């Protein structure tokens, strides 16, 4: 019995000592076992693999890369033969990054191959068990950004000086292509723009998105532009102004982006080579580097896509019963006779075929069967917004217009900028 009471007393003493320690505030060491943190990328936990990151280099062959990483011939053949629509090994482009996820065991065999088509799109070739290939997209976060500027030399310089994505320049030129001649911007012209930027994993920049709204002041005349969905089922978008008028015209001003006019439509042109005789020039020449895309200035059906005499390689498009256009001296055509093309489609590339002394496209414009000067024509406008959508549109643009009006212009010091005459 005495042993029993001695055991009880010792237990009480231990408990009271523990309680006493806590009351005195003594620290008790706690050991925490840390679990590996999952590093998720492309849908895989990279902690589960040995990760090899590399870039496609000149001379790299997909099959050889697989062999080096212990993938057997049958699996390589399965990828090559069965997944051409998903991953065509012939289009294994130099400069593209890729990952190989390898097993951590002694075999160290490639388990997954990930090819990054661009910052957002990627292709996965899963080599575990039977081969599977599929395409996916990175999760993208869109961040709204505002920008503004005053033209001192060119729109592109005003954009780049602020660290804005150069693609915004192209998108602004497309939006205002029918209203503003970007070959003749004036010093002091102004712009404001609200657009989206794309980010992967909240920090990796993946390019600029669409322009939500814009304001351009050219020669003192204001031009608003608001991006509005007119057909949600087919996701058809157009840019309209503050009065719901469509900014688009039936024809683009130019078949080449950011080119220059090297020779205008001139029925009284005299050429020294021909003894200063009058040789009418019934086209407008746009000079640009070889290979520059040539765009259809309006939708229509290709009447001719051939090569003939001094015209060289050319395309002629019939737009309707009134208008046709022709594009001469191409390096190569991108369309065939009878094909329907949409406004802005690439129909060929700048070349020097036929009678030409330099790379350019001679743009010819027919109205009712007669060649006319497109720069002097009052071109037809596109359809305005439907009456049923006008009230909805005006309510939609109100906050965007308010934001645009509140954006202040950013102007860098004069000594940092070139002048228009430089």
Query: Do 88 and 186 fall into the same domain?
Result: no
- 216 falls within a domain: yes
Residues 64-108 pLDDT 10s: 999 999 999 999 999 988 998 899 888 888 999 999 999 999 999
pLDDT, the chain, mean: 83
**Residue 263: Cβ within 10 Å count:** 14
pLDDT at position 7 over 60: no
Residue 358 has pLDDT above 80, yes or no: yes
Distance CA(194)–CA(214), nearest Å, equals 6
pLDDT for the residue 67? 94
Both tokens of residue 91?
């289009």
- Length of the chain in terms of residues written: 422
Residues 172 and 77 in one domain: no
- Widest Cα–Cα separation across the chain: 137
176, part of any domain? yes
Cβ atoms < 10 Å from Cβ of 195 = 24
Please state whether 246 falls in left (phi above 0), alpha (psi between -120 and 50) or beta: beta
DSSP state, residue 394: H
Q: Average pLDDT in the 272-287 region?
A: 73
Whether residue 171 is found in the same domain as residue 234? yes
Out of 137, 155, 182, a domain closes at 137
- For range 388-412, the mean pLDDT: 90
Q: How confident is the model at residue 393 (pLDDT cuts 50, 70, 90)?
A: very high
Indicate whether 16 pLDDT > 50: no
- Does one domain contain both 127 and 145? no
If asked whether residues 150 and 126 sit together in one domain, one would say no
Q: Which helix (H) or strand (E) holds 366?
A: strand 360-367
CA distance 159 to 154: 9
Backbone angles phi, psi at 20, to 5 degrees: -65, -35
Residues 63 and 44 in one domain: yes
**The predicted structure's pLDDT at residue 10:** 46
pLDDT at 5: 47
What is the rounded CA–CA span in Å between residue 409 and residue 146? 11
Report the pLDDT averaged over residues 155-177: 82
Q: How far apart are CA 327 and CA 259, in angstroms?
A: 15
Final residue of a domain: which of 77, 109, 137? 137
DSSP codes of every residue in 269-305: -EEGGGTTEE--B-SEEEE--TT-EEE-SS-EEEEEE
Overall average pLDDT of the 354-362 stretch: 90
Whichever domain contains 164, its CATH number is: 3.10.450.350
Q: Within this chain, do residues 148 and 99 fall inside the same structural domain, yes or no? A: no
Residue 409 has pLDDT above 90, yes or no: no
Q: Give the mean pLDDT of 385-397.
A: 91
Return the structure tokens found at 148.
């503004």
Which structural domain range is residue 229 located in?
A: 141-248+409-416
If asked whether residues 101 and 132 sit together in one domain, one would say yes
pLDDT on residue 419: 44
Co-location of 100 and 44 in the same domain: yes
Quote the pLDDT of residue 213.
96
| Same structural domain, 280 and 242 | no
pLDDT at residue 343 above 50? yes
Query: Are 267 and 367 in the same domain?
Result: yes
On whether residue 121 sits in a domain, the answer given is yes
Higher per-residue pLDDT: 35 or 39: 39
At residue 390, does pLDDT exceed 70? Answer: yes
Residue 393 within any structural domain of the chain: no
The reported pLDDT for the residue numbered 104 is 92
CATH of the domain at 356: 2.70.70.10
Tens digit of each residue's pLDDT (9 = 90 or more) over 123-165: 999 999 889 999 998 888 888 999 898 888 778 888 877 778 8
Q: Strand, helix or coil at 17?
A: helix
| 394 φ/ψ angles, rounded to the nearest 5 degrees | -60, -35
The answer to whether residue 2 sits within a structural domain is: no
How many domains are contained in the chain? 3
User: Whole-model pTM?
Assistant: 0.57
The answer to the question of residue 240 being in a domain is yes
129/48 same-domain check: yes
Extract the tokens encoding 403: 């934001």
**Would you say residue 184 has pLDDT above 60?**
yes
Residue 3 lies in a domain: no
Residue 140, classified by CB atoms within 10 Å of its CB into exposed (0-12), middle (13-18) or buried (19+), is middle
Task: Decide if 47 is inside a domain.
Answer: yes
Q: 3-class DSSP state for residue 401?
A: helix
Residue 46 has pLDDT above 70, yes or no: yes
pLDDT higher than threshold 70 for residue 31: no
Residue that terminates a domain, selected from 82, 102, 137: 137
């Amino acid at each position: 019995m005495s042993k029993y009471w001695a055991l009880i007393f010792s237990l009480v003493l231990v408990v009271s000592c523990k309680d006493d320690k806590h009351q005195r505030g003594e620290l008790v060491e706690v050991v925490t076992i840390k679990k590996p943190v999952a590093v998720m990328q492309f849908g895989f936990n990279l902690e589960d693999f040995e990760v090899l990151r590399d870039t496609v280099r000149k001379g790299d062959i997909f099959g050889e890369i697989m062999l080096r990483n212990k993938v057997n011939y049958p699996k390589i053949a399965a990828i090559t033969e069965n997944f051409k629509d998903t991953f065509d090994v012939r289009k294994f482009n130099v400069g593209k990054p890729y990952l190989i996820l390898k097993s951590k065991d002694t075999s160290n065999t490639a388990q997954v191959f990930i090819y990054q088509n661009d910052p957002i799109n990627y292709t996965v070739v899963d080599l575990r068990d039977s081969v599977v290939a599929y395409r996916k997209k990175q999760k993208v976060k869109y961040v709204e950004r505002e920008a503004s500027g005053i033209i001192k030399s060119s729109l592109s310089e005003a954009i780049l000086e602020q660290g804005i994505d150069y693609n915004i320049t192209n998108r602004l030129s497309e939006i205002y292509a029918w209203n503003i001649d970007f070959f003749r911007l004036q010093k002091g012209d102004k712009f404001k723009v609200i657009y989206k930027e794309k980010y992967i994993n909240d920090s990796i920049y993946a390019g600029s998105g669409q322009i939500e709204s814009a304001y351009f002041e050219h020669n003192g005349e204001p031009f608003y532009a608001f991006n509005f969905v007119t057909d949600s089922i087919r996701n058809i978008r157009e840019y309209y102004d503050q009065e719901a008028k469509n900014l688009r015209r039936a024809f683009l001003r130019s078949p080449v982006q950011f080119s220059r006019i090297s020779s205008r439509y001139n029925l009284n042109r005299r050429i020294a080579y021909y003894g200063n005789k009058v040789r009418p020039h019934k086209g407008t020449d746009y000079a640009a580097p070889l290979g520059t895309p040539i765009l259809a200035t309006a939708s229509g059906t290709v009447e001719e896509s051939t090569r003939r005499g001094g015209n060289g390689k050319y395309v002629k498009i019939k737009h309707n019963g009134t208008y046709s256009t022709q594009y001469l001296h191409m390096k190569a055509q991108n369309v065939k006779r009878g094909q329907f093309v949409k406004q802005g489609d690439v129909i060929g590339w700048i070349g020097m075929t036929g009678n030409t002394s330099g790379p350019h496209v001679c743009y010819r414009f027919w109205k009712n069967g007669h060649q006319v000067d497109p720069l002097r024509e009052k071109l037809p406008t596109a359809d305005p917004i439907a009456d049923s959508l006008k009230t909805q549109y005006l309510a939609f643009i109100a906050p965007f217009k308010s934001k645009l009006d509140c954006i202040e212009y950013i102007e860098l010091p004069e000594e940092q900028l070139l002048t228009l005459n430089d």
